[in-house]
Structure 1
Amino acid sequence: MVNCYSLNSVGPTVEITSGPRRFIAVYLTSAIASSAMSYWFCKAPAIGASGAIFGLVGSVAVFVTRHRGMIGGGREELQHIAQVIVLNMVVGLMSKGIDNWGHFGGLIGGVATSWLLGPAWKYKSMSIDGRRVFVDRPPISYLTNRRK
C-alpha cells in the first residue's frame, strides 16, 4: 500500500515534467539499479517497486536542482525531498525486511538517468505575443550531438 501511495504521489509529477518516455526510462533504470544494488550488497536481496520509486524521487530532485532559477530557488522542495529520503532510510534501518541498499540503488539510478536524459529547459527567445520560448536540451543531446 505504501508503494502504491508513493507511486501515485510522485509518479504524475515526474511524468508531467519529463514526459512518458523519460518517465519509463527513469522508472525502469531505477528498478534495475535497485535490484542490482540489493543483489550486490544485501544478504537477502529483494525485488520490489520501492527502489524504482526512490528513483522517481531522485528524478524530481534533479529537475528542481536543474531548474531552480525558473521555479524560484527550489530550496524548500529540495529540503522536503531530503527529509523524505532520510525518513525512509531511517525506517528501513529500524525495520526488518526493508532493503535500504535497494532504495539507495534506485535513488542513484533515478538521479543518474534524470541527469543524463531528464528535461533541461533553457530560455531561447521571446515569442511575438510576449511569451517566453524554451528549448529542452538534456545533457545526452550534447553527448550524441543531437540537438532538438
Structure 2
Amino acid sequence: MSTDSSPAPETSVPACYRHPGRETHVRCTRCDRFICPDCMREAAVGFQCPECVAEGNRGVRHAVPRTVIGARASGSAVPVVSYTLIGACVLAYLAELASWRVVWEFMMLGRGLMPDGTFGGVAEGEWYRLFTTMFLHQRGGTFGITHILFNMWALYAVGPALEQVLGRWRFLALYVLSGLGGSVLLYLVGAPSAAAVGASGAIFGLFGAFFVIGRRLGGPIGPIVVLLVINLVITFSVPGISWEGHVGGLVVGAALAAAYAYAPAAHRRLLHIGAPLVMLGLLTALVVLRTAELSAGVA
C-alpha cells in the first residue's frame, strides 16, 4: 500500500482590502470586498465598507427642518425682519420730529390740498403713500408718542413668534400687505381728503394672523382674542382713529395667514407665493378703480 507524501496545496487566507494584514471572512454587501472589524459599517442588511457608505451618503438629500407652516426652522435665530421694521418706524418718527414735511409728504391721503397750494395724494399719482404711511406715527395731538410706543410694543411682542413660524419672507409679505390693506380700505370708503398715519393696519394684520395660526397649531388663542376685542372697542369708540386702517389690516392679515396655515402640503410653496401675489393684485385693482372714480369726479 503506497501513501502520497506530497504536501497539501496552500490556500489563500482572505484579508481586508484596506488592511491586507488582517484576516477576515466578512464581505461588504455592496462591493463584495473583504472588510475587517475596523472597516465594517452597519447597514440595513449586513455590513458595508467606508467607501460604499460615503458614496451612498452623497446620493442622499438630507431633509431641511421645517415648521408646520413649511418655513425653514430657524430655532433661536434673531427675528431680523421684526427688528428691522421697528428700527424703520423709529427712524421715520425721528424724521417727523425733525421736519413736519415728512408727515405731509408721506402720510396716507386720497386727494387733498397740500401746504404749497397744490393737490396731492394717491389719486394724484402718489401711490407710494399707501405704503409709507405704515412707517409714520402721530407725533402730537390726542395720542402723541403713545401711538408709536404701543405699535412698536405690539410688533415686538407678536412679530418674532410669527416670523419664526412663517419664515422671513412670508412674515414680511404679511406685514406689508396688511398695512396696504388698511390704506386701501381707507382710500375706498373714506373721504378723499381723509388722512392717516400709523403701523396700526399692519399690527392688526399680525393680530389676525396670530389668531388664525394659533388655531391651526392648537395653541392658546385666548390672550390674542382679548387683545383684539380691546383694540376694536377702542377703534370704534375713540374719535380720531381710522377704523378703516385697522379693519382693512385685520381682514388682509387673517386671509393671508389662512392661506399660509391651511395650504395642502403638496402645493404649499405654490400657494404661499401665489396668495400674497393675488392679494397684491386685488388691492391694486381696487386702488385703480377708486382712482378712476375720483378722477372722473374731478373732471
Please indicate, yes or no, whether the TM-score normalized by the shorter chain is above 0.5: yes
Instruction: Please tell me whether the aligned partners of residues 208 and 251 of structure 2 are also in contact (alpha carbons under 8 angstroms).
Output: yes
Match of 1:25 in 2: 173
Deviation at residue 89 of structure 1 after TM alignment: 1.3
Mapped pair 1:54 → 2:204: yes
Which residue does 2:153 correspond to in 1?
Answer: 5
2:244 corresponds, among 101, 118, 123, to: 101
Structure 2 match to 1:129: none
TM-score (norm 2): 0.37
Cα distance change on mapping 1:45 and 1:118 into 2, 3 Å: farther
C-alpha separation in 1, matches of 2:157 and 2:267:
25
CA distance 1:23–1:138, shift in 2 (3 Å): same
Tell me the amino acid that sits aligned with residue 271 of structure 2.
I
Match of 1:140, as an amino acid? L
With normalisation by structure 1, the TM-score equals: 0.72
Question: Within 5 Å, which residues of 2 pair with 1:13-92?
Answer: 13-43=161-191, 44-68=194-218, 74=219, 77-92=220-235
Segments of 5+ residues of structure 1 without an aligned counterpart are 69-73, 123-134
Structure with more of its chain in helix, by fraction:
1
Q: Which structure would you say has the larger RCO, counting Cα contacts within 8 Å and 6 or more residues apart?
A: 1
Q: Do the aligned partners of residues 86 and 42 (structure 1) sit closer, same or farther apart at CA in structure 2, a change above 3 Å counting? A: farther
The runs of 5 or more residues in structure 2 that have no matched partner are: 1-148, 276-299
1:13: how far off?
Answer: 1.1
Is the 1:35–1:45 Cα contact (8 Å) retained in structure 2? no
Compared with structure 1, are the counterparts of its residues 37 and 63 closer, same or farther at alpha carbon in structure 2 (3 Å cutoff)? same
Q: Which residue of 2 aligns with 1:126?
A: none
Identity %: 35
Deviations 1:88-134 (A, max 9, x none): 11112222221122111101111111112347697xxxxxxxxxxxx
C-alpha distance 10-110 of structure 1, shift in aligned 2 (>3 A): same
Q: CA deviation at 1:45?
A: 4.2
Q: In 2, distance between residues paired with 1:99 and 1:8?
A: 22
Separation in 1, partners of 2:169, 2:251: 19
Compute the RMSD of aligned alpha carbons.
2.7
1:17–1:119 Cα contact (<8 Å) kept: no
3-state DSSP of counterpart to 1:97: coil
- Residue pair 1:63, 1:119 contacting (<8 A) in 2 also: no
Query: Distance between the aligned counterparts of 2:204 and 2:163, measured in 1?
Result: 15
| Equivalent position amino acid for 2:256 in 1 | T
How many residue pairs get aligned? The number is 124
